[in-house]
Amino acid sequence: MMSAAQHAEEAQAAAEHVGEAEHGADEAFNAGEVIIEHVSNSSLDHPILHLPSIAGIDFSVTKHVMMLWLVAGGLFVVITLATRRYLKQERLVPTGFMSALEWLVQVIRDSMVLPNVGPKFVNTWTPLILTLLVFILVSNAIGLVPIFEVLGLVDRYVLSNAADSESLINSVLHGGSTTTANYNVTAALAIITFFSIIVAGTMAHGFVKHWKNLVPSGHPWPIYILLIPIELMSMFVRPFALTMRLAANMTGGHIAILSILSLVFIFNQVFESALLGTGVGFAVAVPLAVGISALEIIVVMVQAYVFTLLTSVFIGMAINVHH
């Protein structure tokens, strides 16, 4: 039984491999597959670093986990170094990158956290909001930069490695690099928001009072039978909306860009002439893709801003309860 299952699995893998080889051989272009490949996470079956499963959860390091670490590590190094250098110098006024960072800290504190959360808890929640903002912003933006695609080109044509070799570079090529386009990631971030709201309410009012604050007081009891479930569901709806908005916006933008760029290859096949197809495709697709990329830059910033703004609004709602 066991060996049969193993055998079947092996056979399937072998078939897949043959299929891939054929796919590579006849160079047929499937736009949908390519786009999904560039937007979604790398397959769990071929992780970059295989780790054991704990309690049925596969902790293997996939492309998106690696991107998370890259973004987090980069942010930590850059921001901490800049801050340390700034704090070490004698002058009060920051320069260069630090002035931008300080401007960001000041703007977030004074115009996002302070009006929503109130003066009492500003310094408690500003670090969370700032971390969320820079993390989401950089995660969003890094997807617009084709680092791995360039790496892949270098690997393929400069180092002349085969497309299916087992090199590290080749293994990081699969999957998209925008972690925030994966709703697992945005759901995790929304869960952070979800628990931050509870922690904020508990810190401000105490644990029991926080849950009481969820429902407006001073109504006859039959209303509460209706209100309590609705409020409880609202509690889950908010992080769900955060999750879906961010993931959908990021995925949508990338799909739009990739679809338009796919026109080059589709025209190639339609016209059955590489020169004509590529020429027409370039003329149509590249200006459009540039336009959408420009739009994406705005979307990247707005979505990071909206996520953090809504987080601070929710935290503020838990702290400053209006009745």
Partner 1 sequence: MDNPLIQPDPGLFIWTILTFLVLLFLLAKFAWGPLLKALEERQETIRKSLDDADQARQELERLHQESAQIIAAARGEAQSIVAKSRVAADTVREDLKQKAKEEAEVLVRGAQRQIQLETARAVQQIRHEVVDLSLAVASKLIKKNLTQEDNDALIQDSLTQIDASQN
Partner 2 sequence: MPDPSDHFLARSLQALQDNVRRSGPAATAGYALIGAILLLGGVGHLVDRWAATSPWFLLTGLLVGLVVGFYQLAKTVWKI
Would you tell me which residues interact with partner 1 (CB under 8 A)? 36, 39-41, 43-44, 57-62, 64-65, 68-69, 72, 75-76, 79-80, 83-84, 86-87, 92, 101-102, 105-106, 109, 123, 126-128, 130-131, 134-135, 179, 182-185, 187-189, 191-192, 251
238 is an interface residue for partner 2 by CB under 8 A: yes
Closest CA to 82 of 71, 95, 92: 95
**Residue labelled with tokens 């039959």:** 222
Q: Measured between alpha carbons, how far is residue 56 from residues 5, 53, 182, 188 in Å?
A: 20, 6, 21, 18
Q: Which does 106 bind (CB under 5 to 8 A by kind): partner 1, partner 2, none?
A: partner 1
What is the nearest approach in angstroms of partner 2 to the Cβ of residue 51? 29
Q: Which does 244 bind (CB under 5 to 8 A by kind): partner 1, partner 2, none?
A: partner 2
Is residue 228 within 8 Å of residue 219, measured between CB atoms?
no
Q: Which is nearer to partner 2, 137 or 263 (CB)?
A: 137
- Beta-bridge partner residues of 49: 61
Name which of partner 2, partner 1, none residue 102 binds, using a CB cut-off of 5 to 8 Å depending on partner kind. Answer: partner 1
User: Cβ closer to partner 1: 101 or 214?
Assistant: 101
Judged by beta carbon, residue 234 or residue 273, the one nearer partner 2 is: 234
Residue 283 and residue 83: Cα distance in Å, rounded?
Answer: 46
Q: How far is the CB of 268 from partner 1 (least distance, A)?
A: 26
Nearest to 315 by CA among 106, 111, 129: 129
| Residues in a beta bridge with 57 | 54
**DSSP summary character for residue 181:** G
| Residue 264 CA, distance from chain mean position | 27
Q: Is 54 helix (H, G, I), strand (E, B) or coil?
A: strand
Whole-angstrom distance, CA of residue 128 vs CA of residue 105: 12
Q: Is the CB of 29 or the CB of 69 nearer to partner 1?
A: 69
Query: From the list partner 1, partner 2, none, which binds 306 (C-beta under 5 to 8 Å, kind-based)?
Result: partner 2
User: Which tokens in the block code for residue 300?
Assistant: 């990247």
Q: Which does 4 bind (CB under 5 to 8 A by kind): partner 1, partner 2, none?
A: none
The reply on whether position 241 binds partner 2 by CB under 8 A is yes
The CA distance from 93 to 261, in Å, is: 45
Q: Which has the closest alpha carbon to 156: 31, 24, 277, 64?
A: 24
Site string for partner 2, 165-204 (x = CB under 8 A): ----------------------------------------
**Residue 245 near partner 2 by CB under 8 A:** yes
Task: Point out which residues bind partner 2 (CB under 8 A).
Answer: 107, 111-112, 115-116, 230, 233-234, 236-238, 240-242, 244-245, 305-306, 309-310, 313-314, 322
